[in-house]
Amino acid sequence: MSVNHTLFTVGPVEVRKEVLEAMTKPMITHRSKAFEQLQEGIVEKLHKALDTDMNILMSPASASGLLEGCVRSGVNRSMVGVSNGSFGDRWQGIGTENGKEVRKVNAPWGKAVRPSDLEGAIDDRTEAVTMVSNESSTGVLNPVADIVKGIREKHDPLIFVDGVTAVFGTDLRIKELDLDALVFGTQKALALPPGLAIMCCSDRLLEKAKTVPHRGYYFDLVQMKKMADKNYSLTTPPVSLMYALDFQLERMLKEGMSARYERHKEMAELVRNWARAHHGLFAEPGHLSDTITVINRGDIDFSKLNKGLKERGCEISNGYGDIKETTFRVGHMGDLTPAEVRGLLKNMDEVLEATR
Ligand SMILES: Cc1ncc(COP(=O)(O)O)c(C=O)c1O
């Protein structure tokens, strides 16, 4: 693969050379003053960049680890799982596989979840509701703020949000959301290698967790919080990745978060326009993702298209889940620029022309 190969994928995504280089600093042990300082700096920058004062918990895992941690630590028996795609389904599955009773609220793929979809689903037994912010299989950005507001009007369950492909690419206005968990990982809009799961966690979830038996060990939020208070990790953390995270957060704060979110919108609009000129978008208008565009394939041969793109030094992603064969996905998140996206789209046109 060429050194100039650029990923327009849905994760892992393109990681800049200088960010990768930040991982090559000398190793330190994770029970040292130097590590405490590293973690303290990261938490401070995460609070600043995301404009939240929620507890930050980190785990050496992919994001799914903490999705499971929320269920294991926050639910004794009963939860509601909201889904309009593969990743909503997956969180329902995590609940079921952990022995919880999961009431499913399923909205059609390609459509956003509406607050009204949850009517009648939540009752006094419901301990938590899980949902996905940016559904990566369909390219829908769900209106989480409206859904949360709708829930809180009548009920008071814990609310857990999968922010895996939203956080750092879309301004979720976390402070205004009244969430109990927002989970994400390093390999998406943070534009880092995979390996660290991160969550914003409410005090309320931590209090509830103390009453839930059999939370397991690795993703036990109560133990993670105890260690986080000392700027330690529960188990051995990916120190090199944390160097890169610290460096990346510094870069983001320098760019400015609103500039970052605007850049994502600009890139998304470029890709949407390309899709509109071809076979169209899978997701409904008004609820389009800023980080991933899911494009209807029509008569496009995706294998040929991506093969041609790879020969030109770039790469996009296949469709996912039930719509794997009828769509493909372009990731436009992290540190990519509108100029790079324009370059990709030009290459896509040229490859399609050449393979027609
Ligand atoms: C919306 C969403 N949720 C969850 C996941 C799973 O994340 P991970 O592979 O980091 O466990 C993904 C991965 O693509 C995702 O896009």
- The rounded Å distance from CA 59 to ligand 1 centre is 15
pLDDT tens digits, 159-196:
999 999 999 999 999 999 999 999 999 999 999 999 99
3-state helix, strand, coil split of the chain in percent (to 5) is 40, 15, 40
Average pLDDT, the chain: 97
3 pLDDT tier (thresholds 50, 70, 90): low
Is the pLDDT at 201 greater than 80? The verdict is yes
Does 62 sit in the ligand 1 pocket, CB within 6 Å?
A: yes
pLDDT value, residue 2: 45
Q: Boundaries of CATH 3.40.640.10 in the chain?
A: 18-253
pLDDT tens digits, 255-310:
999 999 999 999 999 999 999 999 999 999 999 999 999 999 999 999 999 999 99
The Cα 183–Cα 180 span in angstroms is: 10
The Cα 63–Cα 201 span in angstroms is: 14
Is the pLDDT at 138 greater than 80? The verdict is yes
Q: Please list, in sequence order, all residues whose beta carbon lies within 8 angstroms of the beta carbon of residue 17, skipping any fewer than 6 positions away.
A: none
The Cα 230–Cα 223 span in angstroms is: 11
pLDDT tens digits, 37-72:
999 999 999 999 999 999 999 999 999 999 999 999
The Cα 43–Cα 53 span in angstroms is: 10
Which of ligand 1's atoms lies nearest the C-alpha of 292? 16
What is the share, in percent, of the chain residues with pLDDT greater than 70? 99
Which of ligand 1's atoms lies nearest the C-alpha of 132? 1
Which helix (H) or strand (E) covers residue 135, if one does? strand 134-135
Nearest residue to 115 (alpha-carbon basis) of 105, 125, 124 = 105
pLDDT value, residue 1: 46
SS3 category, 225: helix
First to last CA, the chain: 25
Q: Are 129 and 158 in contact (CB under 8 A)?
A: yes
- The rounded Å distance from CA 60 to ligand 1 centre is 15
Global pTM reads 0.98
Does 11 sit in the ligand 1 pocket, CB within 6 Å?
A: yes
Does 137 sit in the ligand 1 pocket, CB within 6 Å?
A: no
pLDDT tens digits, 318-355:
999 999 999 999 999 999 999 999 999 999 999 999 98
Q: What is the mean pLDDT of residues 211-238?
A: 98
Is the pLDDT at 356 greater than 90? The verdict is no
The Cα 347–Cα 335 span in angstroms is: 20
The Cα 292–Cα 339 span in angstroms is: 17
Task: Provide the CATH topology of domain 18-253.
Answer: Aspartate Aminotransferase; domain 2 (3.40.640)
Atom 12 (ligand 1): residue with closest C-alpha? 164
Mutate to test the pocket of ligand 1, among 82, 165, 182, 196 (most ligand atoms within 8 A of CB): 165
- The rounded Å distance from CA 64 to ligand 1 centre is 6
Which helix (H) or strand (E) covers residue 351, if one does? helix 338-355
- The rounded Å distance from CA 33 to ligand 1 centre is 33
CATH of 6-13+256-355, one of 3.30.1490.20, 3.90.1150.10, 3.40.50.300, 3.55.50.30: 3.90.1150.10
Cα distances (angstroms) measured from residue 100 to each of 65, 73, 124, 181: 17, 12, 16, 18
Considering Cα of 310, then 289, then 205, then 105, what sign does the dihedral take? negative
The Cα 163–Cα 87 span in angstroms is: 11
pLDDT value, residue 191: 98
The Cα 180–Cα 209 span in angstroms is: 12
CB half-sphere exposure, 279, CA atoms < 13 A: 15
